[in-house]
Amino acid sequence: MSETEARGAGQRLQEQLDTIVDLLRQQQRMRDELDALRDADVDPVARAPIAEALKDSGEVLQQQLEPLHPADIAFILESLPLDERLTVWERVRSDRDGEILLEVSDAVRESLIADMDQGEIMAAVEPLDADELADLVEDLPTEVLPELMASLDAQQREQLQSALSYEDDQIGALMDFEMVTIREDVSLETVLRYLRRFEELPPQTDKLFVVNHDNVLTGVLPLHWLLVNPPDRMVGELMAPDVNTFHPGDDAYEVAQAFERYDLVTAPVVDEGNHLIGRITIDAMVDVIREEGESESLSRGGLREEEDIFASIWASVRNRWSWLAINLVTAFLASRVIGLFENSIEKLVALATLMPIVAGIGGNSGNQTITMIVRASALDQVNPNAIRRLWQKELGVALFNGLIWGGVIGTVAALLYESPMLGLVMTAAMTLNLLLAAFMGVGIPMALIRLGRDPALGASVFLTFMTDSGGFFIFLGLATLFLM
């Protein structure tokens, strides 16, 4: 899809959302009017036209939802407050519930499932494949699980239990069990006849997996090879050994990077004996990359987990309080640094107006460094052994920027307050704080990596504390030494 097409699709989806929001507002006005008429004891016959119009509006809403892709409906549900979200959810065809539950965020999924009874939940999840069920099981009420397991056949139960035995960030939890396997001792004509027996091939099928009688993977046959070669050729002559095989315990994000690097659409998942046990598809890997990016953004913002934008106040407070508490402590400590120089600030008021510049520029510069380090870490381009080289490079950049931009703001300060010495202090403080920001911008995420933690987790909070308190101390300390 081109950029123009993507923009057009996004615009159409936004227009559909606007249309649905307008319908919901119309319905609310009609409900309010009906409530007012009931309170006034107006005759039911007089209320009938409004009630009929409300019913018609609900049917129009259902017609608006009917042609939409499950992912588009998920977007609409995530964009609505809880009461309107549930109104729309009631108008979704029950046979589409499962697909939509797979598409919505975890936080929104909880609110939808909470509004469903046990029968509705079972009707939604029963049509799903084992790998899809594995994505939903953790969010389902415990009383539903025995009935769900009883509704599955032996193979589905085994596949579901297999998927649930792995961590969420492992390939085993994401692999798809729906795939096409063939033998190497058959002709392409035989393979074509075999494929024609399928009503449709599994989604994202770009290759067929070649296995022997023991289900050991021996190679792959890309579909386009099947189409462009003579039908009497044998699979064993054409198949290629697939070097891009993965194990169920492999890290999902690392596999997603391999998909991006090698332009994969599907890849086989094998056990230690090279037995084929499933496949991984590009759509699952795109979800992994998206979730990793969202998780990184949440970590930088000090959020513990993904949050429904229309969540209750208490749910949002619980999600946000921990890092706000840490930030409060660091901000208080930074304020105490200022308190050490109260006498200097009283004597030279200009210090109070200039010190936020030193701290602010240091924080921005340090966040640039952290962003580069976190991104490189996500791409496996950096490791703790490279910290010295990274420090050398970032300190060099900070020194250059400090002398240039510190000189600029120092000149401005000198002219503004008619004090050349104040300008020199400003330049020196800016340079030193940028050097501190560069040092901490490398050191904080690398320390988190060494500890086995997410390098984005709280890094900006600690960096802001260091550049604020350090910037205040450096600037006010230099001013006290040379200007008092």
185 has pLDDT over 90 = yes
Round the average pLDDT of the chain to a whole number and report it: 86
DSSP string, 400-449: HHHHHHHHHHHHHHHHHHT-HHHHHHHHHHHHHHHHHHHHHHHHHHHHHH
256 has pLDDT over 90 = yes
Greater confidence, 375 or 389? 389
Give percent of the chain with pLDDT exceeding 70: 93
Identify the pLDDT of residue 307.
Answer: 66
Beta bridge partners of 51: none
Identify the pLDDT of residue 5.
Answer: 53
Q: What are phi and psi of 182, to 5 degrees?
A: -140, 170
pLDDT in tens, 263-299: 999 999 999 999 999 999 999 999 898 888 777 666 6
Band of the pLDDT at 302, cuts 50, 70, 90?
low
**Which candidate, 344, 356, 480, places its Cα nearest to that of 425?**
480
6 has pLDDT over 60 = no
What DSSP state is assigned to residue 138? G
- Rounded to whole angstroms, the Cα distance separating 377 from 222 reads 34
3 has pLDDT over 60 = no
Q: What is the location of CATH 1.10.357.20 in the chain?
A: 313-483
DSSP string, 338-395: HHTTHHHHHH-THHHHHHHHHHHHHHHHHHHHHHHHHHHHHTT---GGGHHHHHHHHH
Q: What is the location of CATH 3.10.580.10 in the chain?
A: 181-301
Identify the pLDDT of residue 301.
Answer: 62
Alpha helical stretches, state H, 196-274 = 223-228, 235-238, 252-262
376 has pLDDT over 70 = yes
73 has pLDDT over 90 = yes
Enumerate long-range contacts of 132-136, CB under 8 Å, 24 or more apart. 132/98, 132/102, 133/160, 133/163, 134/160, 134/163, 134/164, 134/173, 135/102, 136/98, 136/101, 136/102, 136/109
* pTM of the complete model: 0.71
Identify the pLDDT of residue 45.
Answer: 77
CATH fold label, 3-173 = MgtE N-terminal fold (1.25.60)
317 has pLDDT over 80 = no
CATH fold label, 181-301 = CBS-domain (3.10.580)
pLDDT in tens, 27-45: 999 988 888 888 787 777 7
Identify the pLDDT of residue 324.
Answer: 72
Q: Report the SS3 class of residue 452.
A: coil
- Please state the CATH superfamily assignment of the domain spanning residues 313-483 in this structure: SLC41 divalent cation transporters, integral membrane domain (1.10.357.20)
